[in-house]
């Protein structure tokens, strides 16, 4: 059994070494891609620093957002204009509701059927409000 463990661990180490060498070889051969931000900015610089504003706002599923920063009257003072424009809801979400009644003989006592019907009526009326 000891011989089997030795051979297995040696084979595993060799296999691991081969995989690591292949990974290293291929990772150095493939040129890395340059990543460039696709957001363009307008830059405004003065003696107090720099302000970067996106040229266009961001468009999301439910709203469009546009933010602009401008210089204030004093150093370190800025004005932020935030415009959020909501979009019309295009999808109406629905929900299925299933009500299950117990119609066994145990429901015949203590007005249980009447209580269940009244509870159902109140539940449905509450949903329709």
Domain limits at 55?
41-86
Whether 129 is covered by a domain: the verdict is yes
Question: Would you say residue 108 lies in a domain?
Answer: yes
Q: How far is CA 76 from CA 50, 71, 81, in A?
A: 11, 8, 16
* Structure-token pair, residue 118: 């009244």
Residues 50 and 72 in one domain: yes
For the segment 70-114, what is each residue's pLDDT rounded down to a tens digit? 888 888 888 999 999 998 877 777 888 888 888 888 877 888 888
Bridge partners of residue 44, in order along the sequence: 51
- Do 81 and 50 share a structural domain? yes
Task: For residue 9, tell me if it sits in a domain.
Answer: no
Q: Domain count for the chain, please give it.
A: 2
The reply to whether 45 and 70 lie within a common domain is yes
65 domain residue, yes or no: yes
* C-alpha 104 chain-centroid distance: 47
Domain shared by 45 and 82, yes or no: yes
Question: Would you say residue 6 lies in a domain?
Answer: no
- Mean pLDDT (the chain, rounded): 82
Report yes or no on 1 lying in a domain: no
CB 69 within 8 A of CB 79: yes
Contact 77, 86 (CB under 8 A): no
**Does residue 15 sit within a domain?**
no
Find out whether 51 and 78 touch, Cβ atoms under 8 Å: yes
For strands 58-59 and 78-86, give the pairing: unpaired
127 in any annotated domain: yes
Query: How sure is the predictor about 1, in pLDDT bands with cuts at 50, 70 and 90?
Result: low
């Amino acid at each position: 059994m000891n011989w089997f463990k030795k051979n297995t661990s040696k084979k595993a180490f060799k296999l691991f070494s081969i995989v690591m060498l292949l990974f290293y070889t291929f990772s150095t051969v493939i040129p890395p891609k340059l990543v460039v931000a696709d957001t363009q900015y307008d830059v405004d610089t003065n003696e107090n620093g720099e302000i970067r504003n996106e040229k266009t706002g961001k468009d999301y599923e439910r709203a469009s957002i546009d933010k602009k920063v401008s210089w204030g009257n004093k150093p370190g003072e800025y004005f932020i204009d935030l415009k959020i424009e909501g979009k019309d809801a295009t999808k109406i979400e629905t929900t299925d509701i299933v009500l299950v009644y117990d119609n066994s003989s145990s429901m015949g006592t203590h007005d249980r059927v009447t209580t269940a019907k009244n509870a159902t009526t109140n539940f449905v009326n509450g949903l329709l409000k």
